[in-house]
Chains A and B, each alone.
Chain A
Amino acid sequence: MQSDLNNEPLTIAGRSFPSRLLVGTGKFSSNEQMRDALRASGSGLVTVALKRANLSGKEDPFADILDYLEADRYLVLPNTAGAMNAEEAVRIARLAEAAGLPKWLKLEIHPDPNYLLPDPIETLEAAEMLVKEGWTVLPYINADPVLAARLQDVGCATVMPLGSPIGSNRGLETRAQIEIIIEQARVPVVVDAGLGAPSQAAEAMEMGADAVLINTAIAVAPDPCRMARAFATAVEAGRAAFETGLGPISKTAEATSPLTAFLG
Chain B
Amino acid sequence: MPRPTKYHLASDAPADTFAQEFERLPIQELAYRSRNVEADRVQHILGQGRAESLEDFAALLSPKASESLELLAAQSQQLTQRFFGKAVRLFAPLYLSNECVNICTYCGFSRNNDIPRITIPESLVEEQVAKLARQGFRSLLLVAGEHPKYVSNGYVESCIRRSLEHMPGISIELGPMEADEYKPLVQSGAEALIVYQETYHRPTYESLHKAGPKKYYAWRQDTPERGYAAGFRRLGIGALFGLYDWRYEAVSVAAHAQYLLRKCWKSQVSISLPRMRPAAGEFQPDPSFFISDREMVQLICALRLFLPHLGITLSTREPSHLRDGLVPLGITLMSAGSSTEPGGYDHFDETQWTSTEDQPGEQFQIADERAPREIASMIRAQGYEAVWKDHDQALAISSEPAQLAQIG
Contacts and interface: CB of A to CB of B under 8 A. Distances in A.
B208 interface: no
B170 to A, nearest CB: 14
23 contacts: A27-B81, A27-B86, A27-B87, A29-B87, A30-B383, A52-B387, A55-B392, A60-B389, A62-B388, A63-B388, A82-B391, A82-B395, A83-B395, A88-B395, A91-B394, A92-B394, A92-B395, A113-B234, A113-B266, A113-B309, A114-B268, A216-B82, A216-B85
Residue among B87, B234, B380, B391 with most chain A CB within 10 A:
B87
Given A91-B394, A92-B394, A84 B87 contact: no
Contacts, number: 98
Given A111-B266, A219-B86, A220-B86, A84 B400 contact: no
Contacts of A88: 394-395, 398
B215 interface: no
Interface string A104-145: 000000011111000000000000000000000000000000
Contact of B385 (A30, A82, A111, A216): A30
B207 interface: no
A54 interface: yes
A53 B393 CA distance: 11
Nearest to B376: A62
Nearest to A27: B85
Contacts of B265: 111-112, 114
A214 to B, nearest CB: 13
Residue among B82, B233, B268, B391 with most chain A CB within 10 A:
B82
A122 to B, nearest CB: 11
B138 interface: yes
A167 B403 contact: no
Nearest to A92: B394
B123 interface: no
Contact of A114 (B82, B168, B261): B261
A29 B84 CA distance: 11
A29 B384 contact: yes
B391 A51 contact: yes
A78 to B, nearest CB: 11
A239 to B, nearest CB: 27
Contacts of B233: 84, 113
Residue among A95, A169, A220 with most chain B CB within 10 A:
A220
A85 B398 CA distance: 10
Contacts of B387: 52
B136 interface: yes
A72 to B, nearest CB: 24
Contacts of A26: 85, 87
A113 B388 CA distance: 19
* Majority DSSP secondary structure for residues of B touching A: loop
A27 B385 CA distance: 8
Contacts of A36: none
Contacts of B390: 51-52
B117 to A, nearest CB: 34
A162 interface: no
Interface in A33-65: 50-56, 60, 62-63
Contacts of A85: 403
Interface of B: 81-87, 136-138, 168, 233-234, 261, 265-268, 309, 380, 383-385, 387-395, 398-400, 403
Contact of B86 (A29, A52, A114, A168): A29
A199 interface: no
A53 B390 CA distance: 8
B86 to A, nearest CB: 4
Interface string A198-241: 00000000000000000010011000000000000000000000
Nearest to A90: B394
A31 interface: yes
Contacts of A82: 391-392, 395
List the 7 shortest-distance A-B pairs measured between CB atoms, nearest first. A27-B85, A29-B86, A114-B309, A63-B389, A113-B268, A62-B388, A62-B136
A167 B82 contact: yes
A27 B84 contact: yes
B403 A84 contact: yes
A87 B394 contact: no
A17 interface: no
A28 interface: yes
Nearest to A65: B389
Contacts of B395: 51, 82-84, 88, 92
Nearest to A82: B395
A55 B234 CA distance: 22
Contacts of B234: 113
B229 to A, nearest CB: 15
Given A29-B86, A62-B388, A91-B394, 19 more contacts: A26-B87, A27-B81, A27-B85, A28-B85, A28-B385, A51-B168, A51-B390, A51-B392, A53-B389, A62-B136, A63-B138, A82-B395, A95-B392, A112-B265, A113-B233, A113-B234, A216-B85, A219-B85, A220-B82
A219 B138 CA distance: 23
Residue among A82, A95, A115 with most chain B CB within 10 A:
A82
A32 B35 CA distance: 45
Given A92-B394, A167-B83, A30 B380 contact: yes
Contacts of B268: 113-114
A84 B266 contact: yes
Contacts of B384: 29
Nearest to A215: B85
